[in-house]
Structure 1
Amino acid sequence: MNYKNYFLVLLLTGICQTAKSQHKDLIVVNAAQSQGTVSPTMWGVFFEDINMGADGGIYAEMVKNRSFEFLKPLMGWSVKGNKITEGDILILNRQGANLANPRFVRANIKGADKGEAGMSNEGFKGGMGIKKDLRYDFSLMYRQQTPGLSLHVELLDEQNNVLGTAVLKPTDASGQWAKQEVSLNAKASSAKGKLNIWFEGSGVLDMDMISLFPSDTWKGRKKGMRADMIQMLADMKPGFIRFPGGCIVEGIDLANRYQWKKTIGPLEERQLIMNRWNVEFAHRPAPDYFQTFGLGFFEYFQLSEDIGAEPLPILNCGMACQFNTAEVVPLDQLDPYVQDALDLIEFANGDASSDWGKVRASMGHAAPFNLKYLGVGNENWGPQYIERAKAFQKAIKAKYPKINLIFSSGTDPDSERFHYLDKELRAMDADIIDEHYYRSPDWFLKNAARYDSYDRKGAKVFAGEYAAHVDKTVGTKRNTWQAAIAEAAFMTGLERNAAVVNMASYAPLFANTEGWQWAPDLIWVDNMNIYGTPNYYVQKLFSTNKGTQVASVLAEGKSLSGQDGLYVSAVVDNVKKELIVKLVNTKDTEQKKQVSLEGLKLAAEAQLTILQGGLTDQNSMDSPSAIVPAEAKLKLKGKTAALKLPANSLVMLKVSYK
């Protein structure tokens, strides 16, 4: 044997194996090779009034059933005091043409002192959250049939200790409906407080729209939104807000559908309806779940403008929920539904001299909202949907050709139903097709390359509703790191395919810990507190670092969509002058990778953001920061970053360039 040749072979073999190993661990990011433009709307939020998301959620009204229009007129209210006899408190129902708010309460009080005759409101799920030293604004509409009553307004805690008081003396004696308010300050806090109204004196007083709002609303707007919840959205810097929801747009039947024109104008003229989630979930019934529409289309547009997001309204297309009734309006009676869409565009974009632009201006917003996107239906399917979608498309494009129309591909991403809709909508030259997926974490991992083969020149994709659902658990326990990291892996595929996918939003957005029905959810709240789930921090990381151009990312000549448990995408931000690489390690062991950053003149130091945890870890009210981003710095070696990717982690590498 030639030992010299033998050892040479061993040496060369070792070198080759080392080179192969090094090549395997090398990830090449090339910013000079653009894979497409990232839409400014790439990452957004989807709001629906589910899980007490609106009333009892972002809409800061604290009085439940303020207008006595629930199916049980006194739901949320109780009558109190030893000076109340039969008939002293009555619900009256006035009749009239198209009256949106027919009921009111009449108090007929005879010689009562404070504490002897009154009414109490329990608030929404879990009571009223009252904060020490905060001002609360109480208001009502009233009509004095017989003057003589004063109202003592009280805030109480769980033990009935009085936290704040004020007196309201009705001043209008015309016998017509009038509005009046009074403010009171809380001297202590209570997570589950309530409101008392005590009558003093003798008289007959009609009352409606009895309301209580905190003064610390978003932007300090009276009768506005809960500031901490909106701040969580603003912090995400979403590209769009999809509203007013999904299934509530359809309604259980067409009578229960969402009608935007009934959600604008004076609050007392907005017609309350039962929220379809009132009766939907047998495991968590919600007989007190209604939509007051204090949060209506004007407020949604205003909110979008506030946080710099594109408004994305969804309208009913003449079809009710196909899981409930599958009721449809006949095609020859579809015109009013189409006209609603045309009128909405005028409401949003028309000048103040147009019919609906004048309505918007009268509500305090003379400038147009600059609507660019409109959804036609939600999770509708079948040939009956295609027929109605075509009618909407024809009418809207004829009058407003620049409006981007979004059409439904049904309820799932894989079925024969989906493929039928996708084919028909592409044949219609649909602008954007809305795809939804509530699937297991494993599905998200396996589908990270879903859009690699989609037609770059066809319809764009809106990933309108998605969330990884961990099986056999309930409530907040579904928002585990296992779900969040699977979503992160999938989102690298969405980002890599931004030439196809131009919008994406997790769903649902909010859940009240006392009133949730569907989980998982992005953000959880109670009366006093709020926390973001691990899923929220994943969404926020992508949304606040979306870049402007997709950069090439290859390992051994291939994109990374699960090879060795690794998922990677990269973008260039031409505005902030940053190169951003997102790496997801789904293995339960650390991985070491060399990331070569090509095509730009880079700074010498990079910023690392790391999200990591055990697969069953989660955030909660008690531990809101169990999984939150951690920051670190990393020195580059020339154009190479030597990265250690922790087990089950999302790591973002961000480096400035000249």
Structure 2
Amino acid sequence: MKRLLLILSLALPLFVTAQNYIVDLNTVKAKIQPTMWGLFFEDINRGADGGMYAELVKNRSFDFPDAFMGWKTVPSRQSYGRNEVFQIINNAAVNPNNPKYLQVTAERPENVLLQNEGFGGVTVKKGLEYKVSLLVRLHVEGLKVKVEIVNSKGSVVGSEILRGALDDKNGARDDGRVSERTSIGRVSSEGARHGWKILESTITPSDTTVNGKLVLRFEGTGKLDIDRISLMPTDTWKGAAKNMRADLVQKLADIKPGFMRFPGGCIVEGDDLTTRYQWKKTIGPLEERKLISNQWKDGGASGRAMPDYYQSYGLGFMEYFQLCADMKCEPMPILNCGLSCQFGAGEVVAADQMDEYVQDALDLIEFANGPAATGWGKKRAELGHPEPFNMKLLGIGNENWGPQYVERLELFTKAIKSRYPSIQLITSTGYTPNPQFKYMDSVLRKMKVDIIDEHYYQTPNWFLMNAGKYDNYDRKGPKIFIGEYACHSIRIGNSGNKNTMLCALAEAAWMTGLERNADIVTMAAYAPLFAHVKDWQWTPNLIWFDNKSSYATPSYYVQQMYAMNKGTDVVPMTLNGESIAGQDSVWASAVVDKVKRELIVKLVNPSGTAKVKSIAGLKGGKASLTVLKGKPDEVNSIEMPELVKPVTAAVTLKGKELKVDLAPHSFTVVRLKI
């Protein structure tokens, strides 16, 4: 093949001559892994409950420490007689994972109701069906349950009387089975044995409301127990992963990710080991998934405390695996390594008591990959996925460091590699480049680990100046996973950080260096992923949303443009024999897609100067240009979700040269047939 000359003519004084960018198609620097660009998911900023998990009822099982958090009652909590009508029953001895339920006793017809505030209000759409369901157990018949959706003014926009089990004097059916047509999942055999049944119906609102409420109105007299109250929209994601908010998941799928790392993040560690993430407690019927406190409820870097932030595990490991299958990307679970958050309690499990933690890892591999004849493979099959998920990547610990981490990592490595040698283990280096990374990097390289996980939250200038960071890394050592990174407009942890266009361009420039070194950096993910515009603890984030809509940030489009233009092979792109990493305020990289037979060039111009480039030495044909541009401080928003958005145009090359404008403050992707 002939060399292609990419000629960039700069808008500089006339005595400065044009300089040639040279792309060498004859030399392959690195193979690009299918996992190169991916996703990082954590339940932070309402990412799961109140976000991607479509459930509209907060504290649906009364299992919060304050059992009535999110609920208002009539009679009210302050009024005389309220406790005679509503009582929280703690039945932890029977079901420690779902210990509480509500008992309602109405001895005389009166105004008795429950009202749920949802997550910042219950939002419903006119004409869309919503599935309403709850578990009930009848003691004294006579009560009817009327479910209403009311708007912010208190007017009813939809209602339905739930019957079913209330009309059945025997409680649960004799055979112990229950309906499976429910948004809250099946009742476990244990629940059915104790007389619990499902009431369910649908409500179609007559009007759209944003700040509404869900009301359960009890009519007549009688006594019953209720639990697992659910209001679920029917326009959820239609893949195997159920009960997920469609617009948020679609934005993930539209990136075309190579992998998804889950479930975090700091929630893997927990404030202490009692609140660590335990994957086995997140699968199966919902009443078997034990609610725990969210790591981020007390605030975070921004200090925005959210006392009602708990993890219901409506989204658990099964849903995450299924979502990865839906998006055709590699699952990458991260497990606790026997350490809680080292910023918090910093609890450490004694090395001779690590068997449970190591066994959890071995069981997870069997759950993900084992045949249905194995114990955990059978469990996966019973949950609806008889085929293995073919998991290849497993993370041990999150942002852990020091000798205590190394000691526990050795236990995991020995046990996993002896039984599953093909599983690639991702190892932690802590949370900051210095001094943690330096120490951990040296130790992990001596251990000959598979993959080292590095995290970077830095300012625009840092990302621009460090685009060549991996140019001189040891090619014989472990691979690098950039497990978390994001450009912070002010500084890490500042609540004023914004997802500006300049931050996105700095990330795009840095990513040219990751792409150029794809033989070392085999995976990378922006973090965090989601944030509710009113309920967040950390900024910036890739996707923002409210209860009705969502929008992508400029950083999102950078991630998407890289992932959708990944290519198969890195080829050299140089200026005067050097990689292009800031010369004349331009950052660039080039790859080839051998399947589509295309050259893909990425050019970042964060400066305020327009430039003109020419790609010469071509034979003519079709090309496309995708350009993301905007003012440095511009941001997208709920009100203006597409203020900054990439635009693609087709170009027909006539002759041997293609000229393209490189706009100020822009990221440009050029695809050329070769």
**So what's the TM-score if we normalise by structure 1?**
0.93
Q: Name the residue aligned to 2:191.
A: none
Q: Name the residue aligned to 2:182.
A: none
Q: In the aligned structure 1, how far is the partner of 2:92 from the partner of 2:518? A: 54
Q: CA deviation at 1:455?
A: 1.7
Letter in 2 for 1:644: D
Q: How does 1:16-165 map to 2 (within 5 A)?
A: 21-22=17-18, 24=19, 26-80=20-74, 85-96=82-93, 99-112=96-109, 116-124=111-119, 126-165=120-159
Q: CA deviation at 1:595?
A: 2.9
Q: CA deviation at 1:103?
A: 0.3
Q: CA deviation at 1:226?
A: 0.3
Q: In the aligned structure 1, how far is the partner of 2:268 from the partner of 2:610? A: 45
Q: CA deviation at 1:637?
A: 5.5
Letter in 2 for 1:123: G
Letter in 2 for 1:93: N
Q: In the aligned structure 2, how far is the partner of 1:584 from the partner of 1:325? A: 43
Q: Does 1:166 align with 2:160?
A: yes
Q: In the aligned structure 2, how far is the partner of 1:565 from the partner of 1:375? A: 37
Q: CA deviation at 1:643?
A: 2.5
Q: Name the residue aligned to 1:618.
A: 635
Residues 1:416 and 1:635: Cα distance change in structure 2 (over 3 Å): same
Q: CA deviation at 1:604?
A: 1.9
Q: In the aligned structure 2, how far is the partner of 1:93 from the partner of 1:628? A: 52
Q: Name the residue aligned to 1:251.
A: 270
Q: CA deviation at 1:324?
A: 0.4
Residues 1:502 and 1:172: Cα distance change in structure 2 (over 3 Å): farther
Q: In the aligned structure 1, how far is the partner of 2:646 from the partner of 2:295? A: 37
Q: CA deviation at 1:639?
A: 4.4
Q: In the aligned structure 1, how far is the partner of 2:658 from the partner of 2:447? A: 47
SS in 2 for 1:199: strand
SS in 2 for 1:453: coil
Residues 1:137 and 1:342: Cα distance change in structure 2 (over 3 Å): same
Q: How does 1:31-430 map to 2 (within 5 A)?
A: 31-80=25-74, 85-96=82-93, 99-112=96-109, 116-124=111-119, 126-169=120-163, 170-175=166-171, 176-219=195-238, 224-281=243-300, 283-413=303-433, 415-430=434-449
Q: CA deviation at 1:605?
A: 2.8
**Contact between 2:464 and 2:510, CA under 8 Å: does it hold in 1?**
yes
User: Which ranges of 4 or more aligned residues in structure 1 deviate by more than 4 Å?
Assistant: 17-20, 81-85, 220-223, 472-477
Note the alpha carbon deviations across 1:361-384, whole angstroms, 9 max, x for none: 111111111100000000000011
Q: In the aligned structure 1, how far is the partner of 2:64 from the partner of 2:217? A: 23
SS in 1 for 2:220: strand
SS in 1 for 2:439: helix
Q: CA deviation at 1:223?
A: 5.9
Q: Name the residue aligned to 2:462.
A: 443
SS in 2 for 1:620: coil
Q: Name the residue aligned to 2:185.
A: none
Letter in 2 for 1:95: A
**Contact between 2:240 and 2:323, CA under 8 Å: does it hold in 1?**
no
Q: CA deviation at 1:467?
A: 0.4
Letter in 1 for 2:127: D
- Of 347-356 and 75-84, deviating more is 75-84
Q: Does 1:649 align with 2:646?
A: no
Residues 1:158 and 1:18: Cα distance change in structure 2 (over 3 Å): closer
Q: CA deviation at 1:222?
A: 9.5
Q: In the aligned structure 2, how far is the partner of 1:585 from the partner of 1:99? A: 57
Letter in 1 for 2:17: S
Q: In the aligned structure 1, how far is the partner of 2:537 from the partner of 2:617? A: 46
Q: In the aligned structure 2, how far is the partner of 1:123 from the partner of 1:539? A: 32
Q: Name the residue aligned to 1:546.
A: 566
Selected match of 1:565 from 585, 593, 597: 585
Selected match of 2:556 from 526, 536, 547: 536
Q: How does 1:480-559 map to 2 (within 5 A)?
A: 480-559=500-579
**Contact between 1:68 and 1:208, CA under 8 Å: does it hold in 2?**
yes
Residues 1:422 and 1:221: Cα distance change in structure 2 (over 3 Å): closer
**Contact between 2:239 and 2:326, CA under 8 Å: does it hold in 1?**
no
**Contact between 2:123 and 2:547, CA under 8 Å: does it hold in 1?**
yes
Residues 1:231 and 1:603: Cα distance change in structure 2 (over 3 Å): farther
Letter in 2 for 1:163: V
Residues 1:172 and 1:448: Cα distance change in structure 2 (over 3 Å): farther
Letter in 2 for 1:212: L
Q: Name the residue aligned to 2:183.
A: none
**So what's the TM-score if we normalise by structure 2?**
0.91
Q: Does 1:584 align with 2:604?
A: yes
SS in 2 for 1:211: strand
Q: Name the residue aligned to 1:9.
A: none
SS in 2 for 1:229: helix
**Contact between 2:21 and 2:575, CA under 8 Å: does it hold in 1?**
yes
Note the alpha carbon deviations across 1:92-131, whole angstroms, 9 max, x for none: 1013166211100000012436xx111000001x211111
Q: CA deviation at 1:53?
A: 0.2
Note the alpha carbon deviations across 1:573-628, whole angstroms, 9 max, x for none: 12222211000012211122233467xxx652311111111110110011111110
Q: CA deviation at 1:270?
A: 0.4
**Contact between 2:241 and 2:323, CA under 8 Å: does it hold in 1?**
no
The number of residue pairs the alignment matches comes to 632
Question: What is the aligned-residue identity percentage?
Answer: 51
Letter in 1 for 2:42: E
- Of 184-193 and 436-445, deviating more is 184-193
Q: In the aligned structure 2, how far is the partner of 1:462 from the partner of 1:49? A: 21
Q: CA deviation at 1:280?
A: 3.6
Q: Name the residue aligned to 2:480.
A: 461
Residues 1:19 and 1:552: Cα distance change in structure 2 (over 3 Å): farther
Q: CA deviation at 1:437?
A: 0.3
